[in-house]
Amino acid sequence: MAQYARSPAVAVIRLRNPPVNTLSFAVLQALEDGLEKADADPSVKAVMICGENGKFSAGADIRGFSSPNRPVKSLAALVSLIESSKKPVVAAIEGIALGGGLEVALGCHYRVAHVKARMGLPEVTLGLLPGAEGTQRLPRLIGVPAALDMITTGKHIPATEALKLGLVDEVVEENTVEAAIRLANKVIGQPLGPRRLSLKPVPKLPDMEAFLSQARVRVKKQAQGCLAPELCFQAVRAATQMPFADGVRRERELFMVLLSSGQARALQYAFLAERAAQKWTTPGGASWSSATPQPVRSAAVIGLGTMGRGIVTSLVKANIPVVALEQDLEYLNTGRKAVMLLLEREAMKMEVGAQTLDFHNPARLQFTVDFDSLRDVDLVIEAVFENMALKKEIFHKLSRICKPGALLCTNTSALNIDEIASATSRPQQVIGTHFFSPAHVMRLLEIIYGRHTSPTAIATAVQLAKALKKVGVVVGNCFGFVGNRMMFPYVQQAVFLLEEGSRPEAVDRVLEDFGFKIGPFRMSDLAGLDVGWRSRQGQGLTGPSVPAGTPARQRQGQRYSPLPDLLCESGRFGQKTGKGWYQYEKAGGRTATPDPWLHSLLAQYRDTHGIEPRFIDQEEILERCLFSLINEGFAILAEGIASGPEHLDVIYINGYGWPKHKGGPMFYASTVGLPRVLAKLHKYSEAHPDVPGLQPSAFLKKLAAVGNPPIKEWMSYLSQQSSRL
């Protein structure tokens, strides 16, 4: 919990709670005991606090916020206790000092950090604010602008920046603990008043009011519906307006408001869900705990279109040498220019002093049209057109050319991994690595295992995701995998709502107000309407292969909307053609404006098909779009395509712009209440019996029948169900 030792005049208190020394009640108690012991021992002249295993502390235990009052209150009290110590207290910061961990360090009179340490107050990302007086001490130490920036964004800052800001007194490259003990010995006997942050005034600005009002506008804009940044702002503003003790009271009030908000619960769930999703298992028994990845020392990317460019950029940024291959010299030159531009932009964004991107060196990045250049790479990512015959041809070639151990990955967004693998002689090494556009920016990597994919291949893809600083989520093989499969019914509902009387801008507004970055129609325009059109043609849903006499609005007895096909047939592919569900200022333009042409097309369409338009309210728009998506999520869980609801939520937050403060679609369903979601789906499916996406999944029905069980228990009901079958 916390170890106490002497060095000889300096008491050493070491926080110990693996893996990241969170401040559990036991740790706080042990820290308090250590301080009392040091205070009582006349031979102790100073105190040094450090953390076990090269980490100071990651702050309060996120899992413990459900019983909030005790730990938070005692943490703040402990920070005050440290500050009021009559003997100097020095923090030795190694690894990380985050949240409550940094607040403990702010209670200390001096701070020494290792050069590789990172510090931050990331509470805002958990829907909270620094609740152990951090919002009052930090502005006193580093000034309001820097403190406000750290507290409202939650960013981690490196030790060198912390030194410039005055957050730490010393940065060392060698032994931080020894340096802190040296400093502690040096400051014995020096007055502590000036080192107690609660006694310092907040540094003045020429026009604090003007600064604060501009900052508030910025914070609100960045918050996108999230409450915590605004309340973090209010807590820091309190530091500029009130004495320390009143500021602390205000901080506590605001903290309690956030703690009881649903947003904090959702954001904390999202944090833990991301960790849970790393622990993958497959129905065949493969698991993260037993599978070993193989090293990826070099990679190749085939196809330098929209996706391939971003994937190459990601690999180069992760310092993995890449061979980039295109079908001919013309495509290769276009692809090369695009990749170089992306890499130049990335290089400009990199921190001063960070390792530079070595992309002009052909040993690190090579462009070719020759498949023979792929002989020695450890991993290949295919990103050619979404066409099964082409993908199979390429995988057949790869299977002949690549060295025996090489992993063969496909970036397909929906196609069958097993069928692609069947074109090779090594299906155990074939896996889906589904990146999201733009691939060098989006954090999600959906990792899809096929029937024969080996545990080593899965572990290697997961390791690759980490190397690329992405969140890898392992899922099973089905049409659209997890993310796109849940997206299909959502987009389908959005289009049906247009048929029935709504407009793209009305549907988008409801979903954007809910918190999506962009609604379904803006999203389709951005991605390109032709992508789905080609896929529907491939599935025989539209185009010449549709049998004569097929009703326009029905396919295989189910409701179908030809509206998106009609748009594509008029050359409206979205942003790229300047027209889609909206009109844009030019081809490639980004400003969407409602389009009278589309409104009259909708009116005409309803006339042709005898549809009486009706007013559709916000509730129906939201529920039909979201609940059909969630319903598909339950079907996916029941089929064993994903190991748990957390996986679906991580996919939606990181790949589909789902508002993080609403925890992901499955978490959201649990907050709405499963019986309510079920009742609504029943209602809508009765009104639209020809829409299978609205018919409640058996798993949802089973869970709702037992009430609204906590999300972490859902999967146990599934195994009860299967064991009875």
The nearer residue to ligand 3HC, 76 or 223, going by C-beta atoms, is 76
CB of 330 to ligand NAI, least distance (A): 9
Quick check: 301 binds ligand NAI (CB under 6 A)?
A: no
Quick check: 107 binds ligand 3HC (CB under 6 A)?
A: no
Among 27, 92, 126, 266, binds ligand 3HC (CB under 6 A): 126
- Select the span of 14-22, 86-94, 346-354, 702-710 touching ligand 3HC (CB under 6 A): 14-22
The nearer residue to ligand 3HC, 279 or 392, going by C-beta atoms, is 279
Q: One of 52, 83, 94, 103 is an active-site residue; which one?
A: 103
Among 34, 51, 88, 99, binds ligand 3HC (CB under 6 A): 99
- 133 catalytic per annotation: no
Among 2, 38, 62, 104, binds ligand 3HC (CB under 6 A): 62
Q: Are 536 and 569 in contact (CB under 8 A)?
A: no
Among residues 93, 80, 102, which one has the least CA distance to residue 14? 93
Among 20, 311, 374, 694, binds ligand 3HC (CB under 6 A): 20
- Is residue 437 classed exposed, middle or buried when 0-12, 13-18 and 19+ CB atoms within 10 A define those classes? middle
Quick check: 263 binds ligand 3HC (CB under 6 A)?
A: no
CB of 504 to ligand NAI, least distance (A): 20
Number of other CB atoms surrounding residue 719 within 10 Å: 9
- 123 catalytic per annotation: yes
Interatomic CA distance for residues 643 and 646, integer angstroms:
8
Quick check: 127 binds ligand 3HC (CB under 6 A)?
A: no
Among residues 600, 579, 596, 593, which one has the least CA distance to residue 528? 579
Within 13 Å of residue 162, how many CA atoms lie on the same side as its CB? 30
Question: In b/e form, how buried is each residue of 401-429, taking b as 16+ CB within 10 angstroms?
Answer: ebeeebbbbbbbbbbbbeebbbbbebbbb
Biggest CA–CA distance in the chain, Å, is 97
Among residues 660, 636, 657, which one has the least CA distance to residue 478? 636
Quick check: 384 binds ligand NAI (CB under 6 A)?
A: yes
Among 34, 51, 59, 450, binds ligand 3HC (CB under 6 A): 59
- Select the span of 126-134, 499-507, 544-552, 580-588 touching ligand 3HC (CB under 6 A): 126-134
Quick check: 497 binds ligand 3HC (CB under 6 A)?
A: no
Binding partner at 198 among ligand NAI, ligand 3HC, none, C-beta below 5 to 8 Å by kind: none
Interatomic CA distance for residues 162 and 167, integer angstroms:
5
Among 411, 502, 628, 670, binds ligand NAI (CB under 6 A): 411
- Select the span of 52-60, 197-205, 233-241, 577-585 touching ligand 3HC (CB under 6 A): 52-60
Amino acid at 676: R
Q: Are 378 and 299 in contact (CB under 8 A)?
A: yes
Among 107, 127, 130, 564, binds ligand 3HC (CB under 6 A): 130
Interatomic CA distance for residues 224 and 653, integer angstroms:
14
Query: What sign for the dihedral angle of Cα 393, 396, 400, 401?
Result: positive
CB of 21 to ligand 3HC, least distance (A): 9
The nearer residue to ligand NAI, 14 or 309, going by C-beta atoms, is 309
- Select the span of 25-33, 46-54, 298-306, 592-600 touching ligand NAI (CB under 6 A): 298-306
Of 550-579, binders to ligand 3HC (CB under 6 A) are none
Interatomic CA distance for residues 275 and 259, integer angstroms:
21
Interatomic CA distance for residues 696 and 684, integer angstroms:
10
Cα→Cα distances 669→225, 516, 635, 676, 681, Å? 19, 16, 14, 9, 12
The nearer residue to ligand NAI, 228 or 430, going by C-beta atoms, is 430
Q: One of 83, 123, 512, 632 is an active-site residue; which one?
A: 123
Q: How far is CA 237 from the centre of its chain?
A: 29
Q: Three-class SS string for 260-291?
A: CCHHHHHHHHHHHHHHHCCCCECCCCCECCCC
Quick check: 49 binds ligand NAI (CB under 6 A)?
A: no
Number of other CB atoms surrounding residue 466 within 10 Å: 14
Residues that bind ligand NAI (CB under 6 A): 302-308, 325-327, 331, 383-386, 390, 394, 411-413, 434-437, 527
Residues in contact with ligand 3HC by the rule CB under 6 A? 19-20, 22, 58-63, 72, 75, 96, 98-100, 103, 122-123, 126, 128, 130-132, 134, 275
Q: Which residues are catalytic?
A: 103, 123
